[in-house]
Amino acid sequence: MKRPEPSSDLSFTGEPISAEEATEKWPLRYRSSKARVSVTLGTPKDGDIEENLEQAKRHYSQALVDGTLFSLGDDVYVKAEEGNPNYIAKIVEFFEAVDGEPYFRARWFYRPEDTVIKTLANEVQEKRVFLSNVEDDNPLNCIVSRVNIVKVPAKIVTGAEERVIPPCDFYYDMKYELAHLTFSTAADEGDASSTISSESDSNCIQIPQKKEKFLLDLYSGCGAMSTGLCMGASLSGIKLTKKWAVDINSFACDSLRLNHPETEVRNEAAEDFLKLLIEWRKLCQKFALISSTEVIESDGDSEDEEEDGDVNDDADGDSSGSEIPPEEFEVDKFLDICFGNPKGLKEASALHLKVRWKGYGPDEDTWEPYDGLRKCKEKLKEFVTTGFNTNRFPLPGDVHFVCGGPPCQGISGFNRFRNNKAPLEDEKNQQLLVYMNIIDYLKPNYVLMENVVDLLKFSKGFCARYAVARLVAMNYQTRLGMMSAGSYGVPQVRNRVFLWGAQPTEKLPPYPLPTHETLAKSLTPTEFEEIQVGYSRRNLLQLEKALTLADAISDLPPATNYEKSDERKYETKPQTNFQKYIRLSRAESIIPLDGRDASKSRILYDHQPLELNDDDLERVCHIVKKKGANFRDLPGVIVEDNKVKFDPSVERPKLKSGKFLVPDYAVSFVNGKSKKPFGRLWWDEIVHTVVTRAEPHNQIVIHPLQDRVLTVRENARIQGFPDFYKLCGPIKEKYIQVGNAVAVPVGVALGYAFGLASQGLSDNQPVIKLPFMYPQCMQGKTEEHSA
Ligand code: SAH
């Protein structure tokens, strides 16, 4: 802060605060007769802060500046540099320095543009500011004028209720801190620079609280993230049930259904899911299952009223698009409902119901537009009532926790057609809007959004700022963290961003600190360096050695390029702790599955590689079996200045098929600088990131000792999937599901943090230590979950 020259028209007024009281309240001000002393201000949240603290002669409780009287606790405008809006602060001290100059100490407020929200400040309510924990000393004449800031209770507004903000210049209900760029509910007055609770480690025994909470997994893929979250919550003493999941990929949905029979899996686009939820609520209101505060919009069925109760329902009406002559059919029952265009016709999307026709079997079930079915009141009522009673679809307030990462392909580093100027107009980033609209509609208690690190990098972090701004505008508390999968017990780097959201009345979950060593710090843009979980404490953490590829997969039986069976025997005993625990059967694990699948038999699923064509297989067979081997070791190429090129002195060797042994693309990839094409992994290595493709053309995916790419199961191991998690679909789809997943141990760690917070057991620290390690923690009742 720039400090203008003191002018003379200012002074403290009234009696100074007694020396006794002043030294008791501000002991660091009375340390020395020197002008300043360097002190360490230990604030538990931000770590130790060094400050060169002005020494005081005496303190006051009031001051006059340009004829205006100011008191301690007043909120004021403070002079900023030319051309900038004045700063806003709360006065927390008035004192005369040893050199006689008058000072005040300011505790600053942030405007939204001063926070991580930055350029997206217009998403947040006008007049809204955030209290900080940042304080510093300023000459008294920097005070410009008084400003009226009111503190309002933090609250999520639902339905028709209005949030009342009294007349003011600014208002606040939340604090903002730099540690993990956190917005959190401002505790009651007097919390300046103070912690609310002091326990720093939360690894104490928890009181089990088995009340069931419902989770909605959006963009669920095969469900890795939510599987981890439910396991972690269970370790904290909470029963978190994956009640609903939504994904547009039918194979991913099949996998989720297979592994989670308790989940209502919706194979549809998230945007259609939201429209369905809105329509479902109207149906629940229509049949008086929930009260409606709003006027239900007329659904045009008033003329049907007198036919109410007509059991001889028919699918007549204006069922445009229906190819079946309606008068010949009678609805037996409704089976499902969706918003969209399930008949695949070129019609506008609309609400549809799946009909079982009287006298016909499942093969004749059809989807019919709701508009043509309005007359089937009784059957509709039956269907909606059953759905309502079983919570088939969530109504606002039903969902405790929403997790999932909206895909933002528009920001991906791989995408060459990125719209930098207006990221949200890029259709590939639309899902971020859809995601936030779903949150806005359902108002869950907790939100956890996952994304790639490009979220922070693309267009100066636009999408990350947007996500935070939307949540804050909905009055959620938020906190950002970046986690590396390898830090939680798998041999993979994989950095991902996680954004917590929590209703203002809930505890905001912390981030779980790493349990395992990771590689060097990842390259986050400087402003976001703060959010790398554990980074500021890296020297204090006692970490296990990072896992290696051998730790994760050395026990798996050999497989050839042509392995046909997706169910095999293990053949060997586990060789490492990781292998021992990752092999647990579902029944032996903590996965809460309501007693279904009690089988303890252990089958090795999905241990199959993508079958390479003859040419690629021949190339792979030529790659030597040693650490670091890749296409550069093949005959016919030479390396100069770390750049590969064809050796002009020899003829290019060919494959049996007549094609070149070293293909052109391998040499031209990254201008000849890459070592990835046809790269072999080695036992002591950590995989960079498991991706969705298995081809060896531009990534290191060949098994250390076998001539094939890593199998689906090997990838799944590196992602921390328990071995009992079987995947569905063609092999390429299985790779996609595994490559898209949030590494299971990361989900477990976050689920534990959520569980503590949602039971009110976490303190206000942004990070916690985990009392367990993955995958040991997966073991069910028989063994203690100890660190
Ligand atoms: N969280 C998951 C991985 C999700 S990957 C896990 O941990 O396993 C993102 C998923 O979003 C993909 O499975 C993709 O099929 C799905 N998806 C993409 N666009 C979608 C849309 N519009 N609606 C619903 N799902 C979508």
> In the 3-class helix/strand/coil scheme, how is 736-774 assigned residue by residue?
HHHHHCCCHHHHHHHHHHHHHHHCCCCCCCCEECCCCCC
CA–CA distance, 90 with 132 (Å, rounded to integer): 10
- Whether residue 186 contacts residue 174, with contact meaning beta carbons closer than 8 Å, is answered with yes
| Strands laid side by side in the 350-357 sheet | 331-340, 350-357, 366-369
Question: How many CA atoms lie within 13 Å of 108's alpha carbon, on the beta-carbon side?
Answer: 19
**Torsion angle of alpha carbons 697, 701, 706, 711, nearest 10°?**
-110
* pLDDT for 502 beyond 70: yes
Cis peptide before 396 (omega within 30 of 0): no
CA 366, CA 360: separation in Å to the nearest integer?
11
Rounded to the nearest angstrom, the distance between the alpha carbon of 267 and the centre of ligand 1 is 10
Residues labelled as active-site residues: 408
Distance 368 CA to ligand 1 centre (A): 27
Residue with CA closest to ligand 1 atom 15: 249
Q: How confident is the model at residue 180 (pLDDT cuts 50, 70, 90)?
A: very high
Would you say 223 and 260 are in contact if contact means Cβ atoms under 8 Å apart? yes
- Per-residue pLDDT, averaged over 321-348, amounts to 80
- With cut-offs at 50, 70 and 90, classify the pLDDT of residue 784: very low
pLDDT number for residue 523:
62
Atom of ligand 1 nearest to the CA of 227: 7
**Which residues in the chain are classed under CATH 3.40.50.150?**
212-271+397-540+746-773
- pLDDT surpassing 70 at residue 291: yes
Q: Where in the chain is the domain with CATH 2.40.50.40?
A: 319-393
Q: Three-class SS of residue 412?
A: coil
| pLDDT at residue 307, as a whole number | 42
Domain 550-740 fold is DNA Methylase; Chain A, domain 2 (3.90.120)
**Where do you find CATH 3.90.120.10 in the chain?**
550-740
pLDDT in tens, 440-484: 999 999 999 999 998 888 888 889 999 999 999 999 999 999 999
Distance (Å, whole) CA 631 – CA 626: 13
| pLDDT digits 0-9 by tens, 669-699 | 999 999 999 999 999 999 999 999 999 999 9
How confident is residue 592, by pLDDT bands cut at 50, 70 and 90?
Answer: low
Average pLDDT, the chain: 88
CATH of domain 212-271+397-540+746-773: 3.40.50.150
The pLDDT value recorded for residue 348 is 86
Identify the band that residue 394 occupies on the pLDDT scale cut at 50, 70 and 90. Answer: very high
SS3 372: helix
pLDDT band at 346 (very low <50, low <70, confident <90, very high): confident
pLDDT category at 521 given cuts 50, 70, 90 is low
- Note the pTM of the prediction, 2 decimals: 0.90
pLDDT tens-digit profile of 235-263?
A: 999 999 999 999 999 999 999 999 999 99
Name the range with the highest mean pLDDT among 285-299, 335-349, 738-752. Answer: 738-752
Element (H, E) at 110: strand 102-110
The answer, yes or no, to whether residue 334 has pLDDT greater than 50, is yes
Atom of ligand 1 nearest to the CA of 247: 25
Residue 44 has pLDDT above 80, yes or no: no
Characterize 201-222 residue by residue with b for buried, 16 or more Cβ atoms within 10 angstroms of its Cβ, and e for exposed.
ebeeebeeeeeebbbbbbbbbb
Summarised one tens digit per residue, pLDDT across range 6-30 is 445 678 888 999 999 999 999 999 9
pLDDT digits (tens, 9 = 90+) for 52-96: 899 999 999 999 999 999 999 999 999 999 999 999 999 999 999
Residue 188 has pLDDT above 70, yes or no: no
How does pLDDT run across 646-660, given as a tens digit for each residue? 999 999 999 999 999
Judge whether residue 634 has pLDDT over 70: yes
Q: How far is the CA of 431 from the centre of ligand 1 (A)?
A: 10
Instruction: Yes or no: say if 258 and 737 are a contact pair by the CB < 8 Å rule.
Output: no
Q: What is the mean predicted confidence (pLDDT) over 422-449?
A: 90
H helices present in 610-661, as ranges: 614-622
Question: What one-letter code names the amino acid at 785?
Answer: H
Nearest to 713 by CA among 570, 518, 515, 516: 570
Tell me the per-residue pLDDT of 540-569, one tens digit each, with 9 for 90 and over. Answer: 888 999 999 999 999 999 999 999 999 999
Report the separation in Å between the CA atom of 747 and the middle of ligand 1, taken as the mean of its atom positions: 16
CATH 2.30.30.490 residue ranges of the chain are 10-185
Decide: 117 and 154 in contact? Cβ < 8 Å.
Answer: no
pLDDT at 558: 97
Which one, of 445, 406, 415, 269, lies nearest residue 341 by Cα?
269
Pocket test for ligand 1, best of 740, 742, 744 (most atoms within 8 A of CB): 740
Peptide bond into 635 cis (omega under 30): no
Mutation choice for ligand 1 from 216, 249, 250, 490, CB with most ligand atoms inside 8 A: 249
- Count other Cβ atoms within 10 Å, centred on residue 296: 11
pLDDT of residue 490: 97
Task: Name every protein residue with a CB atom under 6 angstroms from any ligand 1 atom.
Answer: 219-225, 246-249, 252, 269-270, 404-405, 407, 431, 740-742
Q: CA dihedral defined by 17, 23, 24, 27, rounded to 10 degrees?
A: 140
Check residues 165 and 1 and name the one with the higher pLDDT. Answer: 165
Percent of the chain with pLDDT over 70: 85
Can you read off the two tokens belonging to residue 582?
A: 């990752």
At 71 the pLDDT is 96
Distance, CA 220 to ligand 1 centroid (Å)? 5
Neighbours of 775 (CB within 10 A): 28
Give the pLDDT confidence score for residue 221 in this predicted structure. 98
CATH number of 10-185: 2.30.30.490
Atom of ligand 1 nearest to the CA of 747: 7
The architecture in CATH of the region 319-393 reads: Beta Barrel (2.40)
